[in-house]
Structure 1
Amino acid sequence: MDKVKLYTLKKESVNLTPLLSVGKNGMADSVIEELKKQLKVKKLVKVRIHKNSGESDDMKQAATELAEKCNAQVVDVRGRTVTLYKQ
């Protein structure tokens, strides 16, 4: 993804609200399936990863893992909120 596209997607993602939350069950199959459905429909999705999710404190690593499971790309990581994009 080139820098112009990345900048545009980050700009679009500012006004989005998180559609999914990763909670105490972590990145369960049900969360991954729902995320895949949302990415198919919306292309750009925000996900909130809660502290009690059991995912690592390194949010960039957690975001990369989530993106790999959904065949998506990480657009932005802000705090515990991750924005993913799938073409």
Structure 2
Amino acid sequence: MDKVKQYALKKESVNLDPLISIGKNGISDSVVDELKKQLKIKKLVKVRIHRNSDDIDDIKEAGAALAQKCNARLIDVRGRTVTLYKQ
């Protein structure tokens, strides 16, 4: 993906609300399934990773893992929120 398209997706994601929340159970199969479904529908999805997520220390690493599991691209990481785009 070129930098212009990635920048445009970042800009578009500013107005989105997180659709998926990851809590104390971490990145479970049900979270991955729901994320795949939302990516198929919306293409661009924000995921909020709460502080009580036991197994998640590095948000960028968690975003990359989610992207890999869902065949998506990690677009942005801001605080505890990651934005993914369906390839």
TM over 0.5: yes
What runs of 5+ residues in structure 1 fail to find an aligned partner? none
TM-score normalised by length of structure 2: 0.96
1:7-22 correspondence runs (5 A): 7-22=7-22
Q: State whether residues 26 and 56 of structure 2, in contact with CA within 8 Å, keep that contact through their aligned partners in structure 1.
A: no
After superposition, the CA RMSD in angstroms is 0.8
SS of 2:47 mapped into structure 1:
strand
CA positional deviation for 1:7: 0.4
Q: Which whole-Å CA distance do the structure 1 matches of 2:60 and 2:80 have between them?
A: 9
TM-score normalised by length of structure 1: 0.96
Corresponding residue pairs, total: 87
Over the matched positions of the two proteins, sequence identity in percent amounts to: 74
> Corresponding residue for 1:3?
3
CA positional deviation for 1:58: 1.5
SS of 1:17 mapped into structure 2:
coil
What runs of 5+ residues in structure 2 fail to find an aligned partner? none
